[in-house]
Amino acid sequence: MESDALEDDEMSSLIAFHLNQSGPTEFVFRVLTTSPKIQALLFCFFLFLYILILCGNTAIIWAVYTHTSLHTPMYFFLSNLSFLEICYTTTVVPLMLSNIFGAQRPIPLAGCAAQMFLFCALGGTDCFLLAVMAYDRYVAICHPLHYTLIMTRKRCIQLVGASLGLASCLNLQLTALIFTLPFCGHRLEINHFLCDVPPVLRLACGDTRLHQAVLFVVGILVLTIPFVLISISYIFIANSILRIRSAEGRRRAFSTCSSHLSVVLLQYGCCTLVYMCPRSSEDEDRQLALIYTFVTPLLNPLIYTLRNKDVKEALKKSMTCKIACETP
């Protein structure tokens, strides 16, 4: 009897050990702070930024949709970029806000994988779409007579679809590869506010050299190659602008590119530091993630509306029409 009891205890210990070494069923995010006052301030601050992001990008989509003067390829791409920014931020912020008070609500393994895939796929689509917008500006400035023949409605839709499809395909493979790794424990704490690739890789028990290499290759395909194409486009654009004789013509040509170039530098700069420099610390990753999760989607509509005369005029007309309609 005693031997049977000992065997049962040993079996239980082996089962418990096996379960402790198997993959986790859930993750939790590390709290930003334990001070209730600071938590309340952070919640209100990030909620305010999220509302601004939603309102600003929705206003651009609405202006492009309701004004026929903006039914051009450039503004078609801009409205799609704004829609991506809304989806991109929404995959992160609601869950972040729900965890900001330190409750550490768990997210299951499948939920973490889904958030990682959506966040990376939408971010990758953003990068590809910025390259498409640079190509659009190149055709408009360097080949203005053939612009309507090249940038047809069908081709614009195909370019947006290709951007989304390529980014989704690359990041689906990356996410699937990452979540084949062994994780030790059932409840792991991520030192981040989202299931991003670098912090999840740090929690793996196995060898991650292959996964780091795949991440680097995906980073080259999503970040480096599009940025090189954007740079080449702007070299040709700058050459064409310098050939314009009138100062007003040069100013107008440059104004259509300066907004896009500002967004490119902000988006690619932050993402390159996170995904192409794996030696950065966890705190640096979180700080940079805050920039491309909140600052970039917030600045995009501001940059394009403040520096784009057509969008500003469309928004002013919409507001004036709404006020006139509401006035008895």
Give domain status of residue 319, yes or no: no
Give domain status of residue 191, yes or no: yes
Is a pLDDT exceeding 80 seen at residue 231? yes
User: Contact 159/125 with Cβ under 8 angstroms?
Assistant: no
Distance of CA 101 to the CA centre of its chain: 24
pTM score? 0.83
Is a pLDDT exceeding 70 seen at residue 262? yes
Give the tens place of pLDDT for each residue, 198-222: 888 888 888 888 888 898 899 899 9
Which of the four pLDDT bands, split at 50, 70 and 90, describes residue 170? Answer: very high
Give domain status of residue 8, yes or no: no
Give domain status of residue 104, yes or no: yes
Q: Give percent of the chain with pLDDT exceeding 90.
A: 27
Give domain status of residue 247, yes or no: yes
| One-letter amino acid of 112 | C
Give the tens place of pLDDT for each residue, 146-163: 999 999 999 999 999 999
* Residue 91 confidence (pLDDT): 93
Question: In angstroms, what CA-CA distances link 42 with 15, 37, 150, 303?
Answer: 43, 9, 47, 25
The residue written with tokens 């030696």 in the block is 279
Total Cβ atoms within 10 A of residue 81:
26
* Residue 2 confidence (pLDDT): 43
Give me the CATH number covering residue 175. Answer: 1.20.1070.10
Give domain status of residue 325, yes or no: no
Give domain status of residue 219, yes or no: yes
* Residue 17 confidence (pLDDT): 38
User: Contact 170/217 with Cβ under 8 angstroms?
Assistant: no
Give the tens place of pLDDT for each residue, 22-59: 444 688 888 777 788 888 898 999 999 999 999 989 98
Helix, strand, coil shares of the chain, percent, nearest 5, are: 80, 5, 20
Q: How many domains does the chain have?
A: 1
Domain with 183 in it: 25-311
Ranges 57-71, 179-193, 225-239, 271-285: which has the least confidence: 271-285
